[in-house]
Each structure stands twice: as C-alpha cells, then as structure tokens.
C-alpha cells in the first residue's frame, strides 16, 4: 500500500488544529547487529467527530522503508479498537505499547517487534497515565483514578 489515504494521514501532533483531528506519530530508529540503521515509522491517526465530541475511529500505520509505503495495522490491533496513546519503551525501542480509548474499552496492546504484531490485554480499570520503569524493560507503572 502506498502512503495512507489523505483523510487519515493528517498529523496534528498532540494538539488539535482547525481540522479537528488529533494524531500522534512515532519514529523508531534501531541499530541492527551489522550496525546498519533500521528505521520504523509508526503513525497513529484519529478521527474526531464534532457532533459526538469524541474520537470515533483510529488507524495505526507502520513503515519499514523510510516512509515510502505504509501498512495499515488495524487488523492486528482489532478492527473496532479505538487507540488513544502510543508509547515506546525507553530501554528497548523495539517494545511498543498502545492504550485503547477507555470510553470504548479499556485495554493495553504490547508489541516486542517494533509494532509488527501485538498482544491485547483487557484491563479492569482505566489508565490515567503510564510510565515505563527506567531500567526494567518489562515493567510499567500505571496510574488509575479508581485506585486499582
């Protein structure tokens, strides 16, 4: 697939702009064993519905060829899953975490292969904020308003 369709590629960073959409993007650069730079680009786009006052859909895109082509990953994270946040582990850039929109469902999606595949875990609480442990790459600290 070539670059994602125009209506789903507008990036606003973490700020809302005049189009009303909100988006996030992440560029991952990792060194392979042979010391060649491998670049993975992940883009999370969101569609904001002004009538409902909320995000109604999201799309996750991944490129491994410096942004020449993108693969849409919605089938790998769940076609109806609305994603809110994308995180990269600071001690292991290959580990990615996604949080779903808690208004739709509360879940965390984890990838250990630079976003190529994901494991989805349903949560019994809503994550308010998420931090990676500075040294233990498999540990996260999640804060919830309902104190779970």
Nearest-5° Cα angle at 83, 88 to 13: 65
What confidence tens digit (pLDDT) does each residue in 41-57 have?
899 999 988 998 888 99
Domain spans in the chain, listed from the N-terminal domain onward = 6-143
CA dist 1 and 36 (Å) reads 25
What confidence tens digit (pLDDT) does each residue in 86-139 have?
988 888 888 999 999 888 888 999 999 999 999 999 988 888 888 888 888 888
Q: Decide if 86 contacts 26 (C-beta within 8 A).
A: yes
pTM: 0.73
CA dist 117 and 109 (Å) reads 9
């Amino acid at each position: 697939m070539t670059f994602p369709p125009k209506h789903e590629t507008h990036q606003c960073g973490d700020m809302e702009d005049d189009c009303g959409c909100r988006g996030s993007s992440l560029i991952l650069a990792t060194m392979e064993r042979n010391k060649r730079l491998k670049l993975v680009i992940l883009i999370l786009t969101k569609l904001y519905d002004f009538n409902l006052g909320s995000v109604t859909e999201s799309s996750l895109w991944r490129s491994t060829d410096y942004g020449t082509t993108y693969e849409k990953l919605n089938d790998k994270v769940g076609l109806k899953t609305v994603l809110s946040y994308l995180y990269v582990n600071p001690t292991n850039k290959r580990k990615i975490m996604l949080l779903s929109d808690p208004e739709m469902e509360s879940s965390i999606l984890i990838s250990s292969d630079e976003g190529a595949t994901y494991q989805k875990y349903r949560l019994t609480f809503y994550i308010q904020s998420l931090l990676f442990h500075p040294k233990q790459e498999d540990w996260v600290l999640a804060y919830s308003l309902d104190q779970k």
